[in-house]
Amino acid sequence: MSHPSQDADLRFDGRVAVVTGGGRGLGRAYALLLAQRGCKVVVNDLGGAIRGDGPDTSVAQDLVDEIVAAGGEAIANADTVATPEGGRAIIQAALDTWGRIDVLIHNAGNVRYGSIRDVSYDDFRSVVDVHLMGAFHVVQAAFGPMCDAGYGRIVLTSSVGGIYGNENCVNYGMSKAGMLGLNNIAALEGEAFGVKCNTIVPGAVTRMAEGLDISQYPPMGPELVAPVVGWLAHESCPVTGELIASMAGRISRAFVAETRGVYRPEWTIEDVAAASAAFHDKGPDNPQILDFGLHGHVDHIGYSFAMARSEALIGNTVDN
């Protein structure tokens, strides 16, 4: 159900956003939606083929022309996210034009398939450099200005292929899994400065679906994901350090969880084997799933230490 009055309140007037890979697909949908809501947008896109080859600067410029024709403000940028210099230049384009950077959406990507056994090193590095290293390059460049200004919204891009894995795309899967670490640390380091970082886990039919049989897919265009990214990029968004999935109209939160676990004062290999079923148990008799959240590093250690102390005191161990 639509809520027009609520939607009208969630605007970006006065804000400046950078969208990497903003010329096509998901990035285009993000840039358009933000611009329609009053945001000034740097549309960053090399305009290359799906492998990242053959840059075409008209891709970003065409979207900028469309935004400007509709009364919005935007500029095109064709620097690469794959190098530190390119990352800095992308963010600097926003600072030079409008004097600020409020929102960073890292969406740029390429695809080069290959199994662990067979992928060439060039194809492996090309994908890691754009997806994962590219994320760091633009986040690092934007982080200082955001923290100094006391405000920022960062949206990274992961994938079900990174969270759960998929065959024949080890470079992509590793990159998208690595995004979780950057997301958590940017959220933690930004916490005291009003800078929030979250990750979108999108599912949409774009160029990356080329070659797949999508005849049985439900509607899943980029326009279904864009409002989720818009919410994560908005000043009213209350969450940070989270993974929000959006596919075919479904929105969910993905997260790393732990079972309660088991404790012994000392272990042998045979003890671990015997306890395996217990520390794998997710229910229904042991339904406790621990979601430690943003401060999970500290809370995981604290929980483990507390369990060791309490279990040691009552002598509660796992029977062989």
The pLDDT tens digits for 31-85 are 999 999 999 999 999 986 666 565 677 999 999 999 999 999 999 999 999 999 9
Q: Is residue 319 part of a domain?
A: no
Q: Is residue 112 part of a domain?
A: yes
Tell me, yes or no, whether 307 and 199 share the same domain.
Answer: no
DSSP 114: B
Q: Is residue 320 part of a domain?
A: no
Give the model confidence (pLDDT) of 4-43 as tens digits.
444 468 999 999 999 999 999 999 999 999 999 999 999 9
Q: What range defines the domain where residue 109 resides? A: 4-254
Query: Measuring CA to CA, which residue among 131, 112, 108, 130 is closest to residue 121?
Result: 112
Q: Is residue 118 part of a domain?
A: yes
- Which residues face 16 on adjacent strands? 40
Tell me, yes or no, whether 81 and 93 share the same domain.
Answer: yes
Tell me, yes or no, whether 186 and 209 share the same domain.
Answer: yes
Q: Is residue 26 part of a domain?
A: yes
User: What's the mean pLDDT when you consider all of the chain?
Assistant: 90
Residues assigned a catalytic role: 172
SS3 229: helix
Q: Is residue 275 part of a domain?
A: yes
User: What are all long-range contacts of 221-228, with beta carbons under 8 Å and residues at least 24 apart?
Assistant: 221/29, 222/25, 222/26, 222/28, 222/29, 223/29, 224/248, 224/249, 225/26, 225/29, 225/200, 226/26, 226/29, 226/30, 226/32, 226/33, 227/33, 228/200, 228/202
Q: Is residue 218 part of a domain?
A: yes
Global pTM value: 0.90
Residue partners of 76: CB distance under 8 A and separation at least 6: 43, 45, 57, 60, 61, 63, 64
Residue 58 carries which side chain, given as an amino acid letter? S
Q: Look at residues 228, 254, 280 and tell me which one is the last residue of a structural domain.
A: 254
Q: Look at residues 237, 254, 271 and tell me which one is the last residue of a structural domain.
A: 254
Domain count of the fold of the chain: 2
Tell me, yes or no, whether 194 and 287 share the same domain.
Answer: no
Tell me, yes or no, whether 27 and 124 share the same domain.
Answer: yes
Average pLDDT rounded to a whole number, residues 266-293? 88
Q: Are 230 and 37 in contact (CB under 8 A)?
A: yes
- Of 98-112, 225-239, 285-299, 304-318, the least confident: 304-318
Tell me, yes or no, whether 45 and 178 share the same domain.
Answer: yes
φ, ψ of residue 48 to 5 degrees: the values are -80, 175
Tell me, yes or no, whether 162 and 100 share the same domain.
Answer: yes
Q: Where are the alpha helices (DSSP H) in 99-216?
A: 121-128, 134-149, 160-163, 170-190
Q: Look at residues 254, 288, 304 and tell me which one is the last residue of a structural domain.
A: 254
Tell me, yes or no, whether 238 and 263 share the same domain.
Answer: no
- Of 120-124, 231-235, 283-287, 288-292, the least confident: 283-287
DSSP 234: S
Is the pLDDT score of 314 beyond 70? no
Tell me, yes or no, whether 273 and 238 share the same domain.
Answer: no
Residue 170 carries which side chain, given as an amino acid letter? V
Tell me, yes or no, whether 169 and 295 share the same domain.
Answer: no
